[in-house]
Structure 1
Amino acid sequence: MISQKIYTVDEAKRAIERYCVYQERCHKEVEKKLIAYKMIPEVRDHIIVHLIEHNFLNEERFAKSFARGKFNIKKWGKQRITRELKFREISAYNIISALKEISDEDYLLSFNELAEKKFNAINETNHYKKMKKLSDFLLYRGWESQLVYEKVNELVK
């Protein structure tokens, strides 16, 4: 049987500081990690307050970093980013602030590049099936349905 390490408050605090320094984290991720360390609620709250006071944990910074990363690297649309941030219990204010990190020009340029690349990659002779595959792909990625349907109709013509 493998025994799990028992953390003192100071050890847990240092471990969580390293966890937050490695990459931006949200409160929910830190809370989950502290639960895994078997910390009692009072200690979890104490450590989270410490992290916020020493700027290891910043929800707005996390949201902005998350939005930029998912848009630039995974080519997610604003709806998917919003959904994922809500899942991580980020406030509406911070979500709006994070979405401002994505410029409208970059957003449309990225959307058009992604749609055209995927359209050319779909090997389907039936136009309706090709339209469906493309729109499903773009909608899953979180792009707005109005944008998706306009682009699909433009490409299929």
Structure 2
Amino acid sequence: MDKKSFTFEEIKQKLVHYCVYQDRCHAEVEQKMKEFLLIPEAKEEIFLYLIQENYLNEERFTRSYIRGKFYIKHWGRNKIRINLKQKQVSEKLIEKCFDEIDERDYEKTLRKIFDDYYSKQNGLKEYQKKSKTIKYLMSKGFEYEKINDIFE
């Protein structure tokens, strides 16, 4: 496929739009830049521009990602952390931004998902219900210790 050639300014504008449409992390913007045949200096210049003009902000991205995945998708911290790491967000930044999740909300959400899932496990022995429920909640990214607390 032939890559349509754009001027430097057009590419810059396309990347601004890409960042304005939704918060992006650095890795996503780098990936997007690969669509355009840019020399390293041009990439660098656009990157700096996006950061200086606050179109690209890794902390803002991380905070909105955490809020969305928890409050909308109901993922636990482990799943959120793994997915952010795949986007090359640093552990330090991830930890700093986890305060986006209110601890009471976290426990309430875990409890609700637990109740919904557990109550649907019919015709199983108690230990089977328990082990299926633990597996399910862990797959949603909730910490084993937190899940265990519910059974206490």
Query: What TM-score, normalized by structure 1, do the two folds share?
Result: 0.88
Q: What runs of 5+ residues in structure 2 fail to find an aligned partner?
A: none
Q: What CA RMSD, in Å, does the superposition of the two structures yield over aligned residues?
A: 1.6
Query: What TM-score, normalized by structure 2, do the two folds share?
Result: 0.91
Q: Do residues 81 (structure 1) and 93 (structure 2) align? A: no
Corresponding residue for residue 11 of structure 2: 12
Give deviations 1:35-75, integer Å, cap 9, x for gaps: 12232322111111010011100001001000000000111
Give deviations 1:108-151, integer Å, cap 9, x for gaps: 11111111111123345233332222111111111111111232
* 1:121-132 correspondence to structure 2 within 5 Å: 121-132=120-131
* 1:91-110 correspondence to structure 2 within 5 Å: 91-110=90-109
CA distance in 2, matches of 1:145, 1:119: 16
Q: 1:92 to 1:125 in 2, by over 3 A?
A: closer
- SS of 1:36's partner is coil
Identity across aligned pairs (percent)?
36
Q: Do residues 25 (structure 1) and 24 (structure 2) align? A: yes
Asked whether the 8 Å contact 1:67–1:99 carries over to 2, the reply is yes
CA distance in 2, matches of 1:128, 1:5: 60
Partner letter of residue 57 of structure 1?
L
Q: Do residues 59 (structure 1) and 58 (structure 2) align? A: yes
CA distance in 2, matches of 1:133, 1:123: 11
Q: What runs of 5+ residues in structure 1 fail to find an aligned partner?
A: none
Corresponding residue for residue 43 of structure 2: 44
Q: 1:149 to 1:48 in 2, by over 3 A?
A: same
CA distance in 2, matches of 1:111, 1:124: 23
Corresponding residue for residue 67 of structure 2: 68
